[in-house]
Structure 1
Amino acid sequence: MKMKRKWTPSTRFMLIILYFEFIKETITVPCPASLHTANDVKRCPRNKLEWNARAARLNCSSINQTCVDPSLFEYHCVLNKEGNQLLEVCAPSKHIHEQKCTEFNSFGKLIQASVINCSDALITCPDAYRSTEMYKYQACYDVVYQSTRNEEAHCSSRSTEGKSHLGIAVGLNGEVKCCSGYKWSNRTRLCEKCTPGYTGPECAYSCIYPYYGEDCFKECDCQINLCDHQLGCTPVYWFNNCPHQPEYEEPAFTNTWKQRRDFR
């Protein structure tokens, strides 16, 4: 005759705690505040240093929200729900299972597992990982990068009016638009290159630290709070530490004053 197992009160209490912890990790409550923080980006951090730098810049814990404790409202750089764009967003983190990439669902207003998996990548996603560790699995980002490269491969040197000009992209469906890194100008009726510090489609994205300048190719060698996405290291850093100081041009009014003085 089998004896019925009796659970002590303390054991029952621990089982209840474990059950709710499991529910918390597998079911994420929607957070409307996350939707207002979501922004498309051209590139996500490639390592922990870049991830922490972007997290510091967005400062998610300072955002007013009532979903979770401020310390649990964390920076993410993940796929969108369609899997064709990268975005930065502040949201409660989540455990992702079954070797899936991580996405932010704008309809559900939450972080969740994507339909895209990275089980065949060079560095595969594990069976379970935190959504805030997405940078470790660059194959998920490569899905978007490859899609962007395929589109940009159709860039030609013709404008919509047949004039010779770089920056025009012809999509697979025949649609004509500006290449990434260019922006349409209603004044010139041409695609014009992004100003330094900006990149991406329609120049909508600023450079991600530590990169700055034209096409975000240059790299700051100073701390994030001293790196301007357009100019690089700020003057405070230039004058004290940087071996290559920027050229300084005197304002126009100073030159005019000199001319008047010389004339006298």
Structure 2
Amino acid sequence: MTVIWTDGRIVAPGEGALSAVDHGITVGDGVFETLAVFDGQAFAMTRHLRRLARSAAGLGLTAPDEAKVLEGVKAVLAEAGSSAGRLRITVTAGQGPLGSGREPGPQTVVVAAGPAVIHPEGRAARSPWVRNERSAVAGLKTISYAENVVALADAVAKGGDEAVLANTRGDLCEGTGSNVFVERGGELVTPPLSSGCLTGITRELLIEWAAEEGLPVREAAPDELPFSVLDEVSAGSAQLLLTGSVRNVQPVTWLDGAQLPVGELSAAARELFEARRRERLDP
């Protein structure tokens, strides 16, 4: 069951609730956050709201009305009850013209909750497309997701459940909805934010919690992780890990048709994250 809230009320999934000229619909002018829901409570809400505001500022939007967002969160979680596994907050520029220009006016806020299943392992495929690390929206969580839709559909057609992308420089970047870590040389290493990847909340928490625990997890130096590092993963000399709000920490056991082992550090990182997220609802 998906529960949707907008403009102060719960609406049915098939019910018209937004203007046909909402700028989020016409040109994808908006930002969003996806949060995991555990036992009826949203995980890491403070960090997600902080990133929502950063993404809005990056698009030149005013800061979202946090009180309004939280009103929607409370309403949908109460309505969804134990069925909720995922929460999505979407904020658009509101009604606008049939083009890229904006008009001043109230933003649109939509909050939705629905089921989700977090799988312990993932299947990935290399994408033939790349991230533009010099894009105006690089590193922002915007609702302009067409590139991700196409890349993910390609990965699914190949037998995967996530696509992994390089950037324009040929460095490893991210997945369509995840950050990536490579286990090699006794470390878990993730591409730097300069690669154009999203500042993932799960990525951020894993780095912090690993430091507390003494696990060797870090951000890579520039040029340390070329996209060709995935050849090492396919050959079994390195391992791959995905992180995301509805993946948590997920070792990859299949890449482009090759079965892969779960790395020792990857397994330890998954166990650490599962333990800490149960202890700290809003870390």
Give the TM-score normalised by structure 1: 0.28
Alignment TM-score, normalising by the size of structure 2: 0.27
In terms of Rg, which structure is larger? 1
* More contact order relative to length (CA 8 Å, sep ≥ 6): 2
